[in-house]
Amino acid sequence: DKGLMWFRRDLRADDNAALYHALKSCRQVCCVFVFDTAILDPLIERGLVADRRVEFLHASVTELHERLRELGREHGIEDAGLIIRHAQAQAEIPQLAEALGVQAVFANHDDEPAAHARDAHVLGDLAHRGIMFHGFKDHVIFERREILTQAGQPFGVFTPYKNAWFKALEAFHLKSYPVQRYASNLAPLEKACPMPPLETLGFCTTNLAQLKVPTGTSGAQALFEDFVERIDLYDKTRNFPAVKGPSYLGVHLRFGTISVRRVASVAYGMHLQGMQGASTWLSELIWRDFYHQVMANFPHVVEHAFKPEYDQIKFEHGKHAKDLFAAWCEGRTGYPLVDAAMAQINQTGYMHNRLRMVVASFLVKDLGIDWRWGEAYFADHLIDFDLAANNGGWQWASSTGCDAQPYFRIFNPVTQSERFDAGGKFIRRYLPQLAGLPDAVIHAPWKANEVELVAAGVALGKNYPKPIVDHAQARERTLLRYAVVKKPG
Ligand code: FAD
């Protein structure tokens, strides 16, 4: 039989569930990646042509093609590799499958609502042509309805979910799929399939290389090796944005350039040895599974609050709200930690987890702006943007989500800064105009006296803004705004 392996958010040739099953069950397996115009063209229409994710994807697909060629060669197939297309995937895949004469298409699950709709369409079209479509779990350890409460319902609270996750875990769930075992079933490419340059896709290069963001499976491997060396410190370092504490693997887990089974099994082994840093990191991977199952089981979260009564909250709107939102996006709020964090995402496409919580809380609870505006901004700018995790993070910070922080818990942006960037190192890195302020006032420059401001060359309202909102007053407004969730009806 002949099969077609369709790569999507699983850009690796090792430990890949769908690829393994395709190679195991078919004598000849062709591989394809489609640069999907249904996803890319809307970005171009919005002018977002310098997108670090597209560049990351492009580099990672190039590496995947090379790796498949190598894997083929190691197994006596001269011309294996990827068929690369730039088209609308939902139309292209069934046509290609028919043209190649395959009996089945293999792909790994993608539970985002838009991906479900695309896959349902592909499945229907393939069925008309007499071709099967096989989907596999690959992106998470447990998916969909695999972990349920005793009453058979999906979990909405993390801690019992995590307990059930550990209870359900067996060696099999972390085992890698030995793709090499059947790699001699890779099909040679009928004709060479050159990689379209980024410009042909409608995009341009970004500062990805300058930022030294490593791409592809080789990049993921290097990052993971580096992280394993310091994983034991993770629980102590992870909250401090000036410190190299986290793994920076988000983008690789997003695009599947590293297997989640692989990283989870390493962390799980260390967790069993009692290494606290590894336990905490594993817990973050379980949060990732948790939010993926929330999205799969409660897809309304994509546009609505998880808790329906929170949809009644009236956020600010109109010109003033738009101005406040623009100040937040551009890092002009006058709160240094918030502004430095926004500079980080704008300049690098990454933002430290602690800062994601701080800026999300600030947007919703200090500026009174709808969490969906912030979610959309992150979706456009984060290199590791993932619908499930991003939505979960925003609904957590805005208290609208499942297992979110209570609405009356409101981060104080100055206290957060004093706790997590005590020496102002992170602020100074991203806001050099404040670098000369003493540590004691760098978190709240409006508290500095004239002498300190002059000595540091800071002119509030000129080279750094005055705060656009008073935190104490904003807090009161938020408590009133959120009070609607407590009123009947
Ligand atoms: P590490 O600390 O090394 O964590 C390892 C991995 O665990 C991450 O790569 C990620 O895959 C997963 N992870 C960690 N924390 C979480 C979490 N809270 N929820 C789900 N998965 C988690 N994460 C994304 O992957 N994509 C997003 O778009 C995203 N948006 C967020 C928005 C907000 C408002 C908040 C508060 C959090 C968001 N997160 C998101 C979660 C978290 O901030 C990032 O996963 C993390 O900062 C990525 O950096 P890292 O890879 O160095 O993480």
- pLDDT value, residue 31: 98
Does 151 map to a domain? yes
Closest CA to 394 of 412, 378, 417, 414: 378
Residue 113 confidence (pLDDT): 96
Does a structural domain hold residue 212?
no
Q: How confident is the model at residue 486 (pLDDT cuts 50, 70, 90)?
A: confident
Same domain, 398 and 468: yes
- Tell me the torsion sign for CA atoms 134, 139, 145, 148: positive
Q: Is 211 domain-assigned?
A: no
Domain annotation covers residue 302: no
Q: Which among 432, 174, 465 is positioned nearest to 328, based on CA atoms?
A: 465
Residues 334 and 479 in one domain: yes
Average pLDDT score, the chain: 97
**Do 430 and 325 share a structural domain?**
yes
Q: Is 141 in the pocket of ligand 1 (CB under 6 A)?
A: no
Integer CA distances (angstroms), 47 to 36, 39, 41, 391, in order: 17, 14, 10, 24
For a mutational test of ligand 1's pocket, the pick from 352, 356, 395, i.e. the residue with the most ligand atoms closer than 8 A to its C-beta, is 356
127 with 228, same domain: the answer is: no
Q: Clarify whether residues 157 and 85 are in a common domain.
A: no
Q: Please compute the mean of the pLDDT values over residues 375-400 and round it to a whole number.
A: 97
Instruction: Mark whether 153 and 279 lie in a shared domain.
Output: yes
Given 138, 163, 191, which residue is the final one in a domain? 138
Q: Which atom of ligand 1 is nearest to the CA of 357?
A: 36
The count of domains in the chain is 3
**Averaged pLDDT, 219-239:** 98
| Alpha carbons 360 and 287: distance in angstroms, whole number | 18
CA distances from 91 to 31, 119, 121, 128, 184 (A): 17, 11, 9, 13, 29
What's the chain's length in residues?
Answer: 489
Query: Does 8 reside within a domain?
Result: yes
Domain boundary among 84, 119, 138: 138
Q: Residue 195 domain-assigned?
A: no
Residues 243 and 384 in one domain: no
Residue 393 CA, ligand 1 centroid: distance in Å: 8
Q: pLDDT value at position 488? A: 53
DSSP H helical segments within 273-412, as ranges? 276-297, 318-329, 336-348, 353-361, 371-381, 387-397
In this structure, how many other beta carbons lie within 10 angstroms of the beta carbon of residue 328?
A: 24
pLDDT at 487 over 70: no
Residue 248 assigned as binding residue: no
Question: Helices marked H in 50-140 — which ranges?
Answer: 52-74, 89-100, 113-128
Q: How many angstroms is it from 258 CA to the middle of ligand 1? A: 15
Binning pLDDT at 50, 70 and 90, where does residue 385 land?
A: very high
- What is the tens place of the pLDDT at every residue in 243-279? 999 999 999 999 999 999 999 999 999 999 999 999 9
pLDDT tens track for 154-190:
999 999 999 999 999 999 999 999 999 999 999 999 9
Distance of CA 354 to the CA centre of its chain: 15
Looking at residue 259, its amino acid is S
Distance (Å, whole) CA 380 – CA 306: 22
In this structure, the answer to whether residues 455 and 325 fall within a common structural domain is yes
Shared domain for 322 and 425, answered yes or no, is yes
392 lines ligand 1 (CB under 6 A): yes
Q: Do 37 and 87 meet the contact criterion of CB atoms below 8 Å apart?
A: yes
Between CA 77 and CA 69 the distance in angstroms is: 8
Distance 115 CA to ligand 1 centre (A): 21
| 382 Cα–ligand 1 center, Å | 10
**246 Cβ inside 6 Å of ligand 1:** yes
Which of 244, 272, 297 is a domain's end point? 297
Domain around 424? 308-483
Q: How confident is the model at residue 405 (pLDDT cuts 50, 70, 90)?
A: confident
Question: pLDDT tens digits for 132-162?
Answer: 999 999 999 999 999 999 999 999 999 999 9
* Residue 391 structure tokens: 């939505």
**CATH classification of the domain holding 8:** 3.40.50.620
Residues 249 and 130 in one domain: no
Q: Is there an atom of ligand 1 within 6 Å of 345 CB?
A: no
CATH code of residue 467 = 1.10.579.10
Distance CA 117, CA 104 (A): 19
Q: Which pLDDT does position 348 carry in this prediction? A: 98
Q: Which residues have C-beta within 8 Å of that of residue 274, sequence separation ≥ 6?
A: none
Residue 78 lies in a domain: yes
pLDDT exceeding 70 applies to what percent of the chain? 99
390 touches ligand 1 (CB under 6 Å): yes
In-domain check, residue 185: no
pLDDT tens digits for range 86-124: 999 999 999 999 999 999 999 999 999 999 999 999 999
Q: How confident is the model at residue 489 (pLDDT cuts 50, 70, 90)?
A: very low
| 315 CA → ligand 1 middle, Å | 26
Asked if 63 and 81 sit in the same domain, the reply is yes
Q: Which atom of ligand 1 is nearest to the CA of 252?
A: 9
CATH number at residue 155: 1.25.40.80
Are 127 and 107 found together in one domain?
A: yes
